[in-house]
Every structure is written in structure tokens, then in C-alpha cells.
Amino acid sequence: MSYTGPDFDPPPERRSRRGPLTVALAALVCGGLLGWGVYAATDAGDDKGATAEGAPSASPRMPSSPAASSPAGSSSPSAGDAGDARDGESPASRTPSASAPAAAGPLKGKVVVIDPGHNPTNSRHTAEINRQVDVGTHRKECDTTGTSTNDGYAEAEFTLDVAHRMRALLEKQGATVKLTQDRDRPYGPCVDERARIGNAAKADAVVSIHADGSGAGNRGFHVILPGSVDEGEADTRAVVAPSRELGERIAGNFVRVTGTAPSNYIGGGTGLVTRKDLGGLNLSTVPKVFIECGNMRDSKDAALLTSGAWRQKAARGISEGIVSFLRG
């Protein structure tokens, strides 16, 4: 995703990375990020825990004040992941947009909408996705093609894979899960329609999955929260607070499960950013956030994003944040 639009300042110049691990770990503990510190200090390359677990463990929340920013685990995908980097289909994928009957579980009766950012075939429909739509504060493109790693792994493929993995995890918890798109349409949907899908489903939580396309050296994840907007068709005032709660839960669990540090180039080390220019947030009437899982244009982050084992961890972290939010 790009960072342009009203009410949004470009990210400040990157701060230098922290030095000794002990200093970073102490700061992370104070900020509620013990999970990342333990992971980094022990075995950041262990992919054995990246299975579709059942009940979530701890439910940390990210702090509201800036915490120390430290580079994410830098291990490359293991040899066993090489064939999973561009498989297109995750082990949890199935018929487009189909949702299995909800299982008995703690999320029985809850509806979760997963919004996989962009669409793998948007590039074949440039006229359609360049069409302007109303997002309340202004008009902008229906959708974009998204970004990719330097060697061509598309953001749209990444978002679908993570969405499939999340769907399997959340359905095991009893939730009814809907996807805004599942490679079942030629392009889009447009950003305004993505918001309406969550609204029409009366979703208890909506998460839009993305990966960033920032400069090399910019690393880490961040969660985008809706700002308070009351303009045109957009009125986020009722969902700002629950969306922040959802975002904090997701950010805390993402750190704990993946070992990935919050962004070192935006969000002041908190992993949280507020925006008022995104139609998918402006037009939502239910709690909703975006997550940028990492930077596809940085080689170290790209090594994680193209690892099937790491994508499973990402899906777990996001899903466990959703479970924590919905269970209160």
C-alpha cells in the first residue's frame, strides 16, 4: 500500500536501530512486548509452532505509547518452505468465498470478515480499478494492483494465502468467516464495496490484510486504525474505539506469535497508525482495521513474507488477536 492522501503525513526519517539485545528486551518488557523479546533471544527460526492450533494462548495488547523498535527476526525461510513460497493456494484454501458451517467453539455466533487486499487479476482491469469512488472525505481509485517483492511475489497472492489460513483457524474457534474476495471475481471489489460487505454481514470484526511497499531497510508490521470521520457517507465515530481495541489486540498477538517487531519507519514503535483517507475504514460501520504484515521491498521482510511457515504464524497472530477482542 502507498502512503498518500489527506490527513496523512509521510513517515519520518528512519531512526537508527537499537544496539544490544538486552536493552531492546528490557524496553519491550516494559512496553508489554515480552513475547517478541523471548522469541528473538531464543530461536527466531523455529517454524515448528506454525501449525493451526486450537485455543489461543495469552492475549497481549500493544501499548499506546511508543516502545523500543528493533529489527524483526532475520532468519530466512527453511528449506522445507521453499516450495510453499509461491504456491498461490494455502493448505486451508477451498471453493471461492465458501464458508464451512461454524463449528462449536468460543466464537459460535460471531461473524468475522477477512478482506484480502487487492486482487491477483487487478492488473488486467486497469480501467475498472482506476475508476474513482467516493470514500466520504474524497474520491479515490476503486482499487490498486498492490505491491510485490523484488522477485515478483505479489501482495495479492500473499493476502489471499494469509486469509485462507485465518479462515481455517477462526472456523475452528466456531466463528462464521466471510471473505470479501477469493479469486472469484475479475477485479476488486472496490474499496467502498469492501466496506459494505463487512457492514452487510453485521460483522463483529473485520480485518483487511496487506503488505507494504516501502523502501529497503524499512521493516516490521503496523496496524492501521480508523480516525474519527464524519463527512459525506463516512461516519466512523461509533467504531473508532472498538476498532482501536481490535487493533491493539491484533498487534500484541502478532508480535508474540511471529516474533516480528513493530515498524521501524512508521507508528513511533507502537505498531499502530491512524488514518482518515482509506475508504475501507471510512465507510465501515463495524469494528475494522488494516494490517500491513511487513515490507515486501525489504529483502529480510520479503524472506519472511514468502515463507509458508511464517505466513501461518502471521495468520495465527492476527486470528488470536481477533479471538481475544471478541471474547473480551
- Measure the CA–CA gap between 240 and 119, rounded to whole angstroms: 27
Give pLDDT tens digits for 265-290. Answer: 999 999 999 999 999 999 999 999 99
- 34: how many CB neighbours lie within 10 A of its CB? 16
Catalytic residue among 157, 248, 292, 320: 292
| CATH code reported for the domain at 21-67+86-327 | 3.40.630.40
What Cα–Cα distance (Å) separates residue 43 from each residue in 1, 47, 65, 105, 154? 31, 9, 28, 32, 28
What is the structure's pLDDT at 101?
Answer: 60
Over the chain, what is the mean pLDDT? 80
pLDDT grade for 7, boundaries at 50, 70 and 90: very low
pLDDT value at 82 more than 60? no
pTM: 0.77
- Measure the CA–CA gap between 235 and 64, rounded to whole angstroms: 24
Query: Is 292 an annotated catalytic residue?
Result: yes
Cross-strand pairs, 231:
234
